[in-house]
Amino acid sequence: MTSHLNATTAFESIPSSGLLQPPMAEPLGGDTATWTREMWATADEASSAGFWQASAGRSYWKFDYTEVIFVLEGRLIVTEDDGEAVELGPGDTAVFPTGWQGEWNIVDEMKKFYVVFP
């Protein structure tokens, strides 16, 4: 079955998901509020797609899955362990493969579309 959801409508109806916390990511120096609207998932929930919004803040991520993101709004600086900082903004895409570890610095509240899979 085809899943369809307008991004603007999705963000207008997203309830607060709470604060960013393990196991998703480890906050670094303060709270980061998040909102999630999953639009599709496999029966075992190993793969999913949806919309995510987060307030500004720094966090440390250890991916045990692969995530592909498309930044819709805001600005994010990602720095892989022992790597260089990469700035992402509206229109940018990025892939965080299984095993990726590093810091996300959400500079301006961001909105993204995501797809995760094993």
Map 81-94 to HEC letters. Answer: CCCCEEEECCCCEE
Question: What percentage of residues in the chain have a pLDDT greater than 90?
Answer: 81
User: Using the 8-state DSSP alphabet, how is residue 21 labeled?
Assistant: -
Placement of tokens 């079955």 in the chain: 1
| Residue 104 structural domain | 7-117
Quick check: 20 and 34 in contact, CB under 8 A? yes
Does any domain span residue 22?
yes
| pLDDT (0 to 100) of residue 2 | 85
| pLDDT (0 to 100) of residue 15 | 78
| pLDDT (0 to 100) of residue 112 | 98
| pLDDT (0 to 100) of residue 1 | 73
Does any domain span residue 20?
yes
Does any domain span residue 77?
yes
| pLDDT (0 to 100) of residue 13 | 84
Does any domain span residue 1?
no
Q: What is the CATH number of the domain that holds 36?
A: 2.60.120.10
Instruction: Share the mean pLDDT of the chain.
Output: 95
Of 7-21, 73-87, 88-102, minimum mean pLDDT range: 7-21
Does any domain span residue 71?
yes
| pLDDT (0 to 100) of residue 117 | 97
Does any domain span residue 2?
no
Dihedral sign from CA coordinates of 40, 21, 106, 9: positive
Does any domain span residue 29?
yes
How many H helices and E strands in the chain? Answer: 1, 9
Q: What is the mean pLDDT of residues 66-86?
A: 97
**Total number of domains constituting the chain:** 1
